Amino acid sequence: MTGWQMLLYKEVLRFWRVAAQTITGPILTALLYLLVFGQALESHVRVYDNVSYTAFLIPGLAMMSLLQNAFANSSSSLVASKVMGNLVFLLLTPLSAWHWFVAYVGAAVVRGLVVGLGVLAVSLIFAVPPVVQPLWALLFAVLGSALMGALGVVAGLWSEKFEQMAAFQNFAVMPMTFLSGVFYSINSLPPFWQTVSHFNPFFYMIDGFRYGFFGVSDVSPWLSLGIVTAATTGVGLWALLLLRMGYKIRS
């Protein structure tokens, strides 16, 4: 393997060896959400015609799990390497900033997709959502996991200990994913909160991914694609710039 391939392999192996924590745990969490919200609201909420609430919920939960785990993978890896002091071994290699970026974000994409597919697989026990536009769903899944993997790199470089990384996830990532339309359509919100939702980039990732299943969305899928692509590019360049600077990893 080349240097970046070895680093990518190492990062994938890192989360795969503790799959009970990094893969099975998030899948079971999403399954609990599906059980609680699906069973409680199935007969009371109908978002799309001819689509049960449980079926509506499945893509949102899968995407939410994908985004959260893609972020957690890259951020936790960098922070753990800082805390344990083994990041110096990577600094001694001739790997460029691009190599670091591709390896860390690539591993985050792999973990995000594995968790998302796992959530979809176990959710089939309860409902089978149609997949009208599979390529749209795959596109938003890859872009979303890449965006969150890059954001995880930024958070991991900024954080000097696990408490700071946890604060970033709990006060930024978690609220934005929960308020992105995972459990509801934003058309059911009052006008003010609909406007607020349109400033949440997570909403466009969830809505675009759900469009791949039902062929219906709250906003144009092309608008969602443009915003998600722009956000992924912007955050990716930000992460790459910090890696080039050696931000908080060379001192």
Tens of pLDDT, residues 131-172: 999 999 999 999 999 999 999 999 999 988 888 888 888 888
What 3-state class would DSSP assign to 48?
Answer: coil
Specify if 227 maps to a domain.
yes
Specify if 53 maps to a domain.
yes
Number of domains in the chain: 1
Specify if 127 maps to a domain.
yes
Give me the helix-helix angle, 134-158 and 221-245, nearest 10°: 30
Task: Report CA 98 to chain centroid distance, whole Å.
Answer: 21
pTM: 0.92
What is the reported pLDDT for 51? 76
DSSP states of 228-249: HHHHHHHHHHHHHHHHHHTTTT
Residue 55, CB-side half-sphere exposure with 13 Å CA sphere: 15
Residue 54 has pLDDT above 70, yes or no: yes
pLDDT band at 121 (very low <50, low <70, confident <90, very high): very high
Specify if 210 maps to a domain.
yes
pLDDT band at 108 (very low <50, low <70, confident <90, very high): very high
Specify if 237 maps to a domain.
yes
> What is d(CA 30, CA 87) in angstroms, rounded to the nearest whole number?
33
Specify if 110 maps to a domain.
yes
Give the tokens for residue 204.
């466009």
Pick the residue with more confidence: 40 or 17?
17
- The DSSP code for 125 is T
Residue 251 has pLDDT above 80, yes or no: no
Give the tokens for residue 23.
């893969």
pLDDT band at 78 (very low <50, low <70, confident <90, very high): very high
Residue 11 has pLDDT above 70, yes or no: yes
Report the chain's mean pLDDT, rounded to a whole number. Answer: 90
Task: Report CA 188 to chain centroid distance, whole Å.
Answer: 24
What is the reported pLDDT for 174? 85
- Expressed in percent and rounded to 5, the helix, strand and coil fractions of the chain are 75, 0, 25
Specify if 251 maps to a domain.
no
Share of the chain above pLDDT 70, in %: 96
Specify if 174 maps to a domain.
yes
Measure Cα distances from 121 to 69, 117, 179 in Å. 17, 6, 24
> What is d(CA 121, CA 118) in angstroms, rounded to the nearest whole number?
5
**Residue 185 sits in which domain range?**
3-245
Q: What is the CA radius of gyration of the chain?
A: 18
